[in-house]
Amino acid sequence: MKILNFLCVVILSYILCSCLVPPPAVVNQVVLPEETLMRYRKFIPSDEQITSKSHQWVETKLSDGSVKKRMYYPEKYQCTHEMTYHPEDRNLLHGPYNEWWDDGFKKDEGQYEKGKKSGSWKSYSITDGTLTKEMNYINGEINGEVKNYTKEILRSKYTYDMGVREGLFSVYDSLGVVINEGLYKADTIFSQTLEKEKDNETFKVVEKMPKFPGCAEIEDEEEQKFCAQRKMLEFIYSNIRYPKDARDKNIEGMAIIRFVIDKDGSISDVTTVRGVSQSIEAESRRVVNTMPKWEPGNQRGKAVKVQFNLPVKFKLQ
């Protein structure tokens, strides 16, 4: 009998934290229904040989010996990941990589070379599938110009030197007029012309990021930040549960829930970035919706709305 470990991985902005929730259970061997496999096959070229499968993924072998693994959102029969692995190392990404949003729009496309991103990569919108970002990788690091789009209209350009913002940047409005431009040095803004901020703008990064409540009495900023992360993990640890049907079908993966911390600290605009499966998506959203008010984010002395992505990893071991 194996023990079920539920690994909840939570990332706030760019900081990684983790918590382990161990409800004991048996990991079952699940037979993939033939009807489900037939629906999955539409994503698999006829010249690929199926070597293994589960309720959530299918592995195939290519003529050159490399392996492709396709992950699915089971209830939607939607392929969400298509990964190519090296012929001599089935744990090493090597070759084309594609990812789709849960509703079928393309999410990311690019290439891996011996486990590292390489060459041109593109990202697409969750709402309409239009291009949102273009970038280039060398040995796993962003290098050169990064372009960001909204509805395929260029909204910003940044220059990177092996993973670090270095050089000129420009930000545009919807008509293509420059509203901010400047210079980065060592990933820090060296100079810029600031645009006028909109009263109800939602930010992704601000001078003072929102914090989970319970640590306001701590004066040191870094200690307060780590305390807030710990409090949030304790909240998730106490409230989230691994859905029974996902457990029974051996469904694993990382759900990503996006939400906004409003000016008063309340949670709003809860949406799914990655659901994994119906029950895992519902459970992840449920926990986010039960969060208490946060300490709001602050930009130039004013409370502002800040968007967060919260990844939660469900893992059977």
pLDDT at 50 (0 to 100): 94
d(CA 152, CA 104): 18
How far, rounded to the nearest angstrom, does the alpha carbon of residue 47 sit from its chain's CA centroid? Answer: 32
pLDDT at 156 (0 to 100): 95
How does residue 191 score in pLDDT terms, banded at 50, 70 and 90? confident
pLDDT at 2 (0 to 100): 36
Q: Which residue has the higher pLDDT, 149 or 23?
A: 149
Lowest mean pLDDT among 57-61, 179-183, 195-199: 195-199
Whether the predicted pLDDT of 24 surpasses 70: no
Tell me what the pLDDT averaged over the chain comes to: 87
d(CA 247, CA 251): 6
Phi, psi of 222 (to 5 degrees): -65, -45
pLDDT in tens, 42-98: 899 999 999 999 999 999 999 999 999 999 999 999 999 999 999 999 899 999 999
Burial level of 61, CB count in 10 A (0-12/13-18/19+)?
middle
pLDDT in tens, 205-259: 888 899 999 998 998 988 999 999 999 989 998 999 999 999 999 999 999 999 9
Whether the predicted pLDDT of 121 surpasses 80: yes
d(CA 206, CA 177): 23
pLDDT in tens, 132-165: 999 999 999 999 999 999 999 999 999 999 999 9
